[in-house]
Structure 1
Amino acid sequence: MIEGLFTRSLNVLGSLRGEAKEGVRKGPHFPITRAAELVNRTPAAIRDAEKDGKIPAVERKASGRRIGYSLAEVNHMREVFSTRPWRAPGDPLSVIAVQNFKGGVGKSTVSAHLAQYLAIRGYRVCLIDCDSQGSSTALFGYVPDLDITEDETLYPFFRHAETTSLAYAVRETHWDGLYLIPANLKLYSAEYELAARMARADPTLLNRLGEGITSIGDHFDVIILDPPPALGTISLSVMRAANALLVPVPPTVVDFTSTTSFFAMLYETMAVMADRDMPVDLAWMRILATRADEQKSIQTELLGMMRSLFGETMLRTVLKDSAEIDNASARLMTVYELEKPVTSRETYQRCLTYLNATNAEIETQIRLTWPSHRESLKAIGVL
């Protein structure tokens, strides 16, 4: 019976995939005003560069109107104008774990939208799906157990000591500068295999993911880790590999209670790992209120309490609950990929505003860890 349910469910997901499948996606396009903002130049400067042949002229419709610039074209402009915001060679790779041991808090939603936002901003990003449920993988148009084999996930790297690089699993996405290491159900087996091997021989296997990230780190500015919603060997490996922690928490009593337990387990786990010479070294940690509905009085009260309790550790922006996020997820994509609003333009714009504000705060946290960005941060009043 269970096998039949699984098979039928996969068939439904395969049908939902349809045009959302990664191979037919084109990625975002931007009008010249938005492209100019992203490149940090004026529209006139872009037009002049096109006339001078420094950048290719964008395609136009039969009416003569510009179709819009792809992300790849925007990034090419950044190279021409020397405005690409990459970290300098001496800046540390930013490895962000989006972590909470409770499911349903918006972990994968936050991971995928953050990865795409940073790609739009011009950073080199890799999203590593460490969760066997593959929710982040699905948001890129894949049905994990139809489109992804175990050899394309983290599983071979955890299993085979002779595999020295994660490069085999890194795949391009339809977003220029954004790469993905996908997941499927086989990662569930890795939990038990790692635990058994650690018990028999070597607890330093928890360093394995960090070693893999180091093997590909020179090619990226930011790596985002989407771990399982449980305290297991893969989650411990994620904590060991990360140098930043983002904790999504919906403002409900149940989620707040669960997150309190998460902090207790995290504190105890970090102490044990430090005793075994495997410390968790975080440059920053932030708490993000997700799936918030401020029309509900209890949520408003909880948000106020959380801000008072967590202080500067909590992001100022709240990621509010939105039908646009649900509608995009149903199409195996994110809000950043919707070509037009599914509900109303007001709902869509409001959702984008919250997403961009949240991700901009996280971007600032990332840049604060890069010495090469200090002067530019001073110029905008952050330092």
Structure 2
Amino acid sequence: MTSVLPPVTLDELTQLTHRASTVIERLRERVFAPGNQKQLDLRFNVRTAAEMVGRTEKAIRDAEGDGRLPEPDKDPDTQRRRGYTLSQVNQMREVFGTLPHRDPEDSALVLAVQNFKGGVGKSTVVCHLAQYFALRGYRVCVIDCDSQASTTAMFGMNPDVDVDEDEDTLYPFLRHGGPKSLHYALRATYWPGIALIPANLGLYDAEYEFAARMAREPAFILDRLREGVESIADQFDIVLLDPPPALGMLSLSVLRAANALLIPAPPNNIDFASTAHFLKMMEATLSELAQHGGARDYAFVKILASKMNDQKSAHMAIKRMMDAVFPQDMLQATLKDSAEIDNATANLSTVYELTGAATRTETHRRCRAYLDAVGREVELLARKTWPSHHRALRKEGML
């Protein structure tokens, strides 16, 4: 029996792809600054800056008065201070000795936000965690290992235009005879303190190449990404890995490269079942990988209830079950399902980037509180891995 629908040809699919690219370009033109370069417009008043730096407002004024710190820019019309940028806040932290960096003897936290299922909020968690840590003054590297490149786009780069797979992504490093380190791929971002190794669709080819070479060179394939992360880790406090949402060679490499795991898991039946399968597959996979390159230990493995909706009784019931089944493994904080996150993402942005009237709504305040709570808990876990922070943690009553 012949279909009444005309067949969709390859030419028509090509046209569809071009139209999709046009939509992305128009979106970039609308939400990005002139020249298609995203900029960070955050400004902090002296009270907020003092809280971020851990010093008094007077101490900041005094430092400006004696020349240790420059005074903030003034509005040319009103001559009022425009507030401090994040770079200026970090300059204050440096002057006052309150930057939270780990000691060189401590190992960088290499945190993979990992789940083999898509749609659980991985990239959302990665982007917001990176920006939370940057606001706190840490040195952050985000490595986009996903050929869909959502994280790359969120940080202001068009994967199809701004990113060259042969120069800017992990792909050259993962090939045999590639660069000795990942320094070639590090890109500065518009966020002070955050560097990015971007991705694009070309990274998908690495999956095929890795699979073809796995039988011949298992140690090289499994540990190549780990070696790359180690080649740049001395520059950062936190390295965040955003892997593909599938059980493939890149995902396995991420599991080998990380020294801590955060597993986003929405509290619904399908996603919770998927997370349970993920944990089972991860245990079996790591056991198999250990035979090829030694066991891999993690500083911590935590499950984050993501896309949580307190108004849904099913979500609350499954969350209670998750807490009962994983009493030591769940983050206490949850990432709520929020229109604020959805609206920001629609503009290739994050909640931490919003300014002006958008930040004065109750919805924004609630969402920011959820994100900050997740960030604080992960930050505490990170600091517990650094011996240089243990004295301060004991003083704070956190250890």
Report the TM-score, using the length of structure 1 for normalisation.
0.97
Q: How does 1:95-174 map to 2 (within 5 A)?
A: 95-150=110-165, 151-174=167-190
Q: Is the 8 A contact 2:140 2:195 kept in 1?
A: yes
**Is residue 20 of structure 1 aligned with residue 32 of structure 2?**
yes
Deviation per residue, 1:167-218 (Å, 9 max, x gap): 1110000111110001000111100111111223444321111111111111
Deviation per residue, 1:220-268 (Å, 9 max, x gap): 1110000000111100110100000000011111100100110110010
Q: Which residue of 1 aligns with 2:15?
A: 4
Deviation per residue, 1:101-127 (Å, 9 max, x gap): 000000000001000110110111000
Q: Is the 8 A contact 1:153 1:184 kept in 2?
A: yes
Unaligned 5+ segments in structure 2 are: 1-11
Residue 295 of structure 1 deviates from its aligned partner by 0.4
Q: Is the 8 A contact 1:341 1:348 kept in 2?
A: no
Residue 30 of structure 1 deviates from its aligned partner by 1.4
Task: Give the Cα separation in 2 of the matches to 1:347 and 1:220.
Answer: 33
**Is residue 269 of structure 1 aligned with residue 281 of structure 2?**
no
SS of match in other structure, 1:286: strand
Task: Give the Cα separation in 2 of the matches to 1:32 and 1:155.
Answer: 44
Residue 27 of structure 1 deviates from its aligned partner by 4.8
Poorly superposed stretches of 4+, deviation over 4 Å: 341-344
Task: Give the Cα separation in 1 of the matches to 2:84 and 2:277.
Answer: 46
Deviates more, 1:33-42 or 1:22-31: 22-31
Q: How does 1:63-102 map to 2 (within 5 A)?
A: 63-102=78-117
**Is residue 49 of structure 1 aligned with residue 63 of structure 2?**
yes
Opposite residue 124 of structure 1, the aligned amino acid is: R
Unaligned 5+ segments in structure 1 are: none
Task: Give the Cα separation in 2 of the matches to 1:71 and 1:208.
Answer: 34
Change in 2 beyond 3 A, CA 1:343/1:330: farther
Q: Is the 8 A contact 2:102 2:386 kept in 1?
A: yes
Deviation per residue, 1:323-365 (Å, 9 max, x gap): 1111111111111111135597110111101000111100000
Task: Give the Cα separation in 2 of the matches to 1:216 and 1:252.
Answer: 38
SS of match in other structure, 1:180: strand
**Is residue 175 of structure 1 aligned with residue 191 of structure 2?**
yes
Q: Is the 8 A contact 1:155 1:187 kept in 2?
A: yes
Q: Is the 8 A contact 2:260 2:300 kept in 1?
A: yes
Deviates more, 1:142-151 or 1:37-46: 142-151
Deviates more, 1:320-329 or 1:342-351: 342-351
Deviation per residue, 1:40-64 (Å, 9 max, x gap): 1011111111111110001123434
SS of match in other structure, 2:296: coil
Residue 280 of structure 1 deviates from its aligned partner by 2.1
Opposite residue 52 of structure 1, the aligned amino acid is: D
Change in 2 beyond 3 A, CA 1:344/1:375: closer
SS of match in other structure, 1:29: coil
Q: Is the 8 A contact 2:128 2:350 kept in 1?
A: yes
The share of aligned pairs that are identical, in percent, is 53
Report the TM-score, using the length of structure 2 for normalisation.
0.93
SS of match in other structure, 1:275: helix
Opposite residue 26 of structure 2, the aligned amino acid is: S
Task: Give the Cα separation in 2 of the matches to 1:32 and 1:308.
Answer: 44
Equivalent position to 2:49, from 35, 48, 63: 35
Q: Is the 8 A contact 1:324 1:342 kept in 2?
A: no
Q: Is the 8 A contact 2:359 2:365 kept in 1?
A: no
Alignment RMSD? 1.4
Q: Which residue of 2 aligns with 1:304?
A: 320
SS of match in other structure, 2:287: helix
Q: Is the 8 A contact 1:14 1:146 kept in 2?
A: no
Task: Give the Cα separation in 1 of the matches to 2:73 and 2:359.
Answer: 30
